[in-house]
Structure 1
Amino acid sequence: MEQSYTEFNRHKKKLTAAYGKASPDVMAGFRHLQQEALKEGALSTKQKELIALGIAIAVRCDGCIGAHVAGAIHQGATKQELVETIDVALLMGGGPSIVYGSEAYAAVEELLGE
């Protein structure tokens, strides 16, 4: 990915908002699912964001990577926790996950301001 994750996240939020106006019931349902799935429980919200990041890498979703790196950082994830999440995703996803894992690392550095 050649663009800034900050800009990419902003752009995806804008597109999602536009789609939400076109399909408010579906997006409201998705937002509810997201809120319920990520709320504190036996796993912390931070842990859930890290899991979501690992899955995002494995399924090769650029928008998901940007969103879940930002979400994990917002929940207090450290750079090392993010790197280890990328490590596990690489283990499970093989070669293609290396490509997307390196994209996730670029998002980590950018969104942490490093």
Structure 2
Amino acid sequence: MKSAKALNEEAKKTFNQLNEFNPTAIKGFTKYIHSAEKDGVLSAKMKQIIMVSVSVAQKCEWCIVYHTKKALDFGATRDELLEACMVTGLLGGGPSMMYSGIVINAIEEFQNN
């Protein structure tokens, strides 16, 4: 399994390569991301926790790591993230439970900088 930091760097590299290919599209997508992620009715922290859950359900390792890091940066706790993973497992079953391991590894790696 790749480290959380390596997956996070791969995600950034891919995003940068797509930006080089089509900066107009990525600029629009980035604007949408920033708008959707900011505090609203739901806090930015809660939105990141939800994004971790959706990333686990979608089985996207890069998204899992990226949003776990952002959730931690917004003050999410290990327990909040793992509870969200447990809820994801209700609908996603065993595969979602196994992808939760990436969340656990990312929490450990990012909290032990």
TM-score bracket for this pair, using the shorter chain length:
over 0.9
Which residue of structure 2 lines up, in the alignment, with residue 8 of structure 1?
A: 7
| Identity between Structure 1 and Structure 2 (%) | 34
Which residue of structure 1 lines up, in the alignment, with residue 109 of structure 2?
A: 110
Does the Cα contact within 8 Å between 1:86 and 1:105 map onto a contact in 2? no
How far residue 51 of structure 1 moved from its aligned partner, in angstroms, is 0.4
Does the Cα contact within 8 Å between 2:10 and 2:62 map onto a contact in 1? no
In the alignment, structure 1 residue 58 sits paired with structure 2 residue 57: yes
Q: How does 1:91-102 map to 2 (within 5 A)?
A: 91-102=90-101
Which structure 1 residue ranges, 4+ long, deviate > 4 Å from structure 2? none
**Alpha-carbon displacement from aligned partner over 1:42-77 (angstroms, at most 9, x marks no partner):** 110000000010000001111110111011011011
Does the Cα contact within 8 Å between 1:58 and 1:93 map onto a contact in 2? yes
In the alignment, structure 1 residue 89 sits paired with structure 2 residue 88: yes
What is the alpha-carbon distance in structure 2 between the residues aligned to residue 84 and residue 54 of structure 1?
9
How far residue 11 of structure 1 moved from its aligned partner, in angstroms, is 2.1
User: TM-score, structure 2 length as denominator?
Assistant: 0.93
**Alpha-carbon displacement from aligned partner over 1:2-58 (angstroms, at most 9, x marks no partner):** 111112101220221121011101111111111111110111000000001000000
Which residue of structure 2 lines up, in the alignment, with residue 72 of structure 1?
A: 71
Aligned residue identity for 1:80: D
What is the alpha-carbon distance in structure 1 between the residues aligned to residue 36 and residue 84 of structure 2?
19
Which residue of structure 2 lines up, in the alignment, with residue 22 of structure 1?
A: 21
Gaps of 5+ in 2: none
Please report the RMSD computed on the Cα atoms of aligned residues, expressed in angstroms: 1.3
Does the Cα contact within 8 Å between 1:57 and 1:89 map onto a contact in 2? yes
